[in-house]
Amino acid sequence: MRTRLIATAALILLLGLSAHTQQLQPAAPEPDFDKIAIKTTDLGNRIYMLEGVGGNITVAIADDGVIMVDSQFVQLYGKIKTAIASLTNQPVRYLINTHFHRDHTGANEAFAKDGATIVAHENVRLRLAAGSRSGVTGNVVPPAPAMALPKLTYQDSMTIRLQGRSAELKHAADVHTDGDTYIYFTDANVLVAGDLAFFGRYPNIDFLYGGSIDGMIRGVDELLAFVKEDTKIVPGHGPAGIKATLRDYRVMLVIARDRIAKLKAAGNSEDEIVAARPNADYDAKFGVDARAIGNFIRVVYRSLKD
């Protein structure tokens, strides 16, 4: 415990030194977890999407267990378990993390204690073990406990198998983070995109840990080349979609990038671009608040190459 506290303090000091150059924004208020309900969407072929708060969860039922993708926040662990139990009496045998952010990995430890094997790209293990910081708010997340870390890691691709079900994992390099995984369930034609895709809202881009707006566009291109027209796509956030939904998402990313890049090239500061509201049409379409509007502009601005 003492070692973890020292490591966390060192992380705060080290990362805090680089925070002076960019204005930090207020963190989002913590959700009222008691009021959160878990919504279940049936995607067919014994695959379900669970929505609560944070990243979407995918539950794929096999003959001898469950393959689960992402775990949201630990405060929702009980509700998530109840939602899964309403679908099957099979245990969660594998928990795949699409990346390291705690709204996707927060209940890792709880499910690992139940017997689930956590699976992720090798960089996810590194980030969780070391702790991390938000480039927008400066919020520091301490190192995760050992039980919450992935036990199975991979570099480029791997396949997880249970009886009557398999999940194909593929790493997309330096897109949303440096450890992104997307997962394809072949028999069901379901793709779990993680935070490579956000439907009906602006994405987060973790520019401190390998992400960039150009990387996001490249990642979407990789997904578009992979999926079929009727593939059901589970995004990291937002409702499930299909290939046409992913195409629309790419169009938004390119338009927003070009608008912000043009203003930056003209000498406008980050705050000036936020005030200019260059994506007012999408702001209205998505119905997002000023915080979401500003944070998206800031992460695009900071990830653009000068």
The structural domains of the chain, ordered by start, are 2-242 (3.60.15.10)
Dihedral-angle region of residue 144 (phi above 0 means left; psi in -120 to 50 means alpha; beta otherwise) = beta
pLDDT category at 1 given cuts 50, 70, 90 is very low
Type of residue found at 164: G
State the pLDDT at residue 10. 43
pTM over 0.75: yes
* Burial (0-12, 13-18, 19+ Cβ within 10 Å), 173: middle
State the pLDDT at residue 22. 67
As a whole-number percent, the residues of the chain with pLDDT over 90 amount to 90
Give yes or no for residue 15 having a pLDDT over 70: no
pLDDT category at 306 given cuts 50, 70, 90 is confident
Taking residues 245-251, what's their average pLDDT? 98
Give yes or no for residue 155 having a pLDDT over 50: yes
| DSSP for residue 164 | T
State the pLDDT at residue 17. 40
Average pLDDT, the chain: 93
Type of residue found at 256: A
| DSSP for residue 241 | B
- With CA atoms as reference, report the closest residue to 233 among 58, 104, 61, 80: 58
Within 8 A by CB and 6+ apart from 77, the residues are 71, 107, 110, 111
- Distance, in Å, from the CA atom of 224 to the CA atom of 222, rounded to the nearest integer, reads 6
Give yes or no for residue 221 having a pLDDT over 80: yes
Phi/psi for 300 (5° steps) reads: -65, -50
As a whole-number percent, the residues of the chain with pLDDT over 70 amount to 93
Type of residue found at 95: L
CA dihedral 8, 9, 13, 18 (to 10 degrees): 20
State the pLDDT at residue 4. 45
